[in-house]
Amino acid sequence: MSVPILVAVAWPYASGSRHLGHLAGAYLPADVFARYHRLVGNQVLMVSGSDVHGTPITVRADAEGVTPADIVGRYHAEFVSDWDRLGISWDLYTSTGTENHSEVTHDIFLRLLQNGHIDKRSSEQHFDVEADRFLPDRYIEGTCPYCNYPEARGDQCEDCGRTLDPEELLNPCSKITGTTPVLRETEHFFLRLSDFGQDLSEWLEAREDWRPHVLNFSRSWIDEGLQDRAITRDLEWGVEVPVDDLGPGKRIYVWFEAVIGYLSASKEWAANQGDPDSWRNWWENDNARSFYFIGKDN
């Protein structure tokens, strides 16, 4: 029996060129997998796209003295050319910069908000007095509080792999001016991940076909206790927040909206086929299976 197979592949940041490690880590294995399932008669939908938001793009734009749109335009075109020359058999390669992606992201954000899984909170975050701006994510570096790596970023430590908030860094330093930031109060929307711990735990225990190390890694996150996470940022570049509660200068956090890209890309593909509801075959079908190729560094 033909089975719907969703092949969801990592979205590369449009902030720098791809190399052979990227190809070997996520893209070539996904392409081989998709081609196999097409050969055996399964219904394959392989999607991905360029991740065009977040501080990797804006940091590079600042360094080059150009706009984020300039950086995105350069590298998205380069990626599309790379995949074409390599023969990667996408059903759709798009970007998170489409109107469709913003609409799907807004829909999910508003549903979560209406159901009480998103709330607004005040918190103290790092502020660069000299640059007169907050320092989200990669605009700040410091020492990792878990492994003491001296060049950890404000969103993640590249050495131990821990996800971080900028406020956790020891000896923080602004990437813009090199100065030591101060803490100032700001408001953001938070996703109440703690609401989903029990449901996710039960769902994980039903994954009989998962590899043990993947299952154990996922369990460890649940066992540690899921922490509520801010899903907006003090930035001018990114998907706009669909409500006005926070005022200007806020955008949806890239790690929240980029993963929605798998759904928005599926919907975009369906619309391109002239059958806008056909995405449901891969997302609302009990017989469908989904496979995510994210690469070692994800």
Beta strands 4-9 and 43-50 are: parallel
Query: In angstroms, rounded to a whole number, what is the distance separating the alpha carbons of residues 297 and 25?
Result: 8
Contacts with 73 (C-beta within 8 Å, 6 or more apart), sequence order: none
Phi-psi category of residue 229: left, alpha or beta, with phi > 0 → left and psi -120 to 50 → alpha: beta
Q: Tell me the per-residue pLDDT of 65-76, one tens digit each, with 9 for 90 and over.
A: 999 999 999 999
Q: What is the pLDDT of residue 245?
A: 81
Q: Looking at the chain, which residues constitute the CATH 3.40.50.620 domain(s)?
A: 4-116+253-293
pTM (2 d.p.): 0.91
Contact (CB, 8 A) for 174 and 186: no
Q: Tell me the per-residue pLDDT of 123-174, one tens digit each, with 9 for 90 and over.
A: 888 999 999 988 888 889 999 999 999 999 988 898 898 888 888 899 999 9
Q: What is the pLDDT of residue 102?
A: 98
Successive 10-residue mean pLDDT values, the chain, 298 residues:
96 93 92 98 99 93 96 98 97 98 98 97 91 88 94 89 86 92 94 96 92 92 92 94 87 96 99 98 97 75
Q: What is the pLDDT of residue 298?
A: 44
Q: Looking at the chain, which residues constitute the CATH 2.20.28.20 domain(s)?
A: 137-184
DSSP secondary structure string, 121-178?
EEEEEEEETTTTEE--GGGEEEE-TTT--TTEESSB-TTT--B--GGG-EEEEETTT-
Q: Where are the alpha helices (DSSP H) in 40-120?
A: 55-64, 68-86, 99-114
Q: What is the pLDDT of residue 295?
A: 73
Q: What is the pLDDT of residue 296?
A: 60
Task: Give the up-direction half-sphere exposure of residue 91: CA atoms within 13 A in the CB hemisphere.
Answer: 25
**CATH class entry, domain 4-116+253-293:** alpha beta
CATH 2.20.28.20 correct for 137-184: yes
Q: What is the pLDDT of residue 206?
A: 93
